[in-house]
Amino acid sequence: MFCRALAFSKQLLHLSRHSVTRLTSVPRHLSSMATSASPLPVTIPEPVTEPIVLPDVAACPEPGIDKPSSSAEDATPASSSITSRKRPLGPDLTVPFRRKRQATSEEVTELIIPPDAEYYFENGLRKVTPYYFTWTTYAKGRWLGRTLEDIFRDEFFAVNKDVTEARISADSVNIFVNGIRTQLTHKIKNNDYIANYTHRHECPVTARPLKIVAETDDMLVIDKPASIPCHPCGRFRMNSVIYILASEFGRRNLRVAHRLDRLTSGLLIFAKNLSAAQSVHDQITERVVRKEYLAQVHGRFPTETVLCNEPIDCVNPRAGIYQVRDTGRPCTTEFHSLYYDEAKNTSIVKCKPLTGRTHQIRIHLQYIGFPIVNDPVYGANALYTGKDKIDPVGNDIFTDFPEECQRTKHFKLDKLPDDPWVDPKCPECWVKFEDPKDEDQRIDLHAWKYQGPSWKFETELPFWARHISPSLISEPSEASIVSLPDKTESQETFQLGSATHP
């Protein structure tokens, strides 16, 4: 009898661990069967086939969060790639199953267009009405043990610093950890799922339209204006190329084959299917795609074609700043002068990146002493003083670039406007920002031509280069290419052509 009871207990434990439908844990009284005189009757619970339904958190509003009303007019037409939903009743606090994955350029961005977000145009800018949004993320390694207040102050420097302080002071930061509203004093633990429910204000971008350059069965090629990011990032979501193409052109299920900086204009290639995306991505990775950019730089660029082979390394991952450094990754850029404007002391230069490093063209031009016009990071000679020499870069963008940040002036309102999107509890609704100037939203760098083994695309010349004669745009002879001389640490300047470079 003892052996039968023990064998039955082992079978039940094995069933509870390895069955497809998980049974409830074995009751403790079953273990006593080994010592009892006779086995007790055991009732095996039926497998649970119905899914467990969690309570709707949005239906139980947390204190301090005003739930905006919903109406039938707020609905967005459903489509295959844009998830439509009514005006949110509150944050979506569902904790998703965490999977390890790597972001790829072939991935399709899930588009969720809030019904209360609308485009409008003003002062030459594309703007978005503020809307409610939930930021979600898992705890990062560098956050562990720190409070939510520390993370909110230090990590989200893309948000205006004054607005961040106002949110914290007014206790209007609605943060949830693992689906539960949490105070800012909460210390972050490993695998915490953090959600920040906020009234989101996006930055404006240029009102210049996106132009379709070419379209095939597999690819869509556009001419991207400067100031618009390819993907949602930072303070841009609706004002990104992906969302504008979906909202205004009806182009969905697109995969970005390569990336352009937000401040850079020019060719941007999208693939319509996975095989085309993989093909273009492989061609770019294997360096069989020929790329040509145009840049307007300060100074008189030499007539010889210049080849820069300096390696590039990241010096500030948080701010995304790179620098020429011996320990960096190898990269090569070829430059050829096209035109010199003596009145403005600027040159139009054709740039051919032979590798694809981040900010490669911008860094190499700054390094040889011809920074790109309007470049707020690599256009300042004071920031970079030569190879392996860089001024200290802090973690506060407002300290590092005070003049650039000062251009985004704002003042506090005494009375809220009568717009329907205003939230009285949102500190940003009480602040009016001045519209940015055009030169603050672009750098004079343009992706001009891309050519692969079986395709070739080209855009029109950017507005700052349309005065160039077509006869000036010609291929240089290989014999005219010169490499940069090595710069010793004691050498403060070096001569290249007829110009002196810091």
The CA–CA distances, whole Å, from 281 to 75, 192, 222, 252 equal 37, 34, 17, 19
| Closest by Cα among 58, 86, 90, 84 to 73 | 86
Active site residue 261: yes
Strand partners, 126: 121, 205
Measuring CA to CA, which residue among 501, 383, 366 is closest to residue 443?
366
Q: What CA–CA distances, in Å, run from 162 to 67, 131, 135, 179?
A: 25, 20, 20, 28
DSSP state of 246: H
At a CB cut-off of 8 Å and minimum separation 6, what does 274 contact? 106, 255
Neighbouring C-beta atoms of residue 120, cutoff 10 Å:
10
481-483 and 305-308 beta bridge pairing: parallel
Place of tokens 């950017």: 462
Q: Which of 261, 388, 435, 440 is catalytic?
A: 261
Instruction: Name 451's Cβ contacts closer than 8 Å, sequence gap at least 6.
Output: 289, 290, 457
Q: How far is CA 103 from CA 107, 108, 251, 360, in A?
A: 7, 10, 22, 22
- Kindly report the number of other CB atoms within 10 A of residue 80's CB atom: 7
Closest CA to 320 of 265, 357, 351, 267: 357
Active site residues: 261
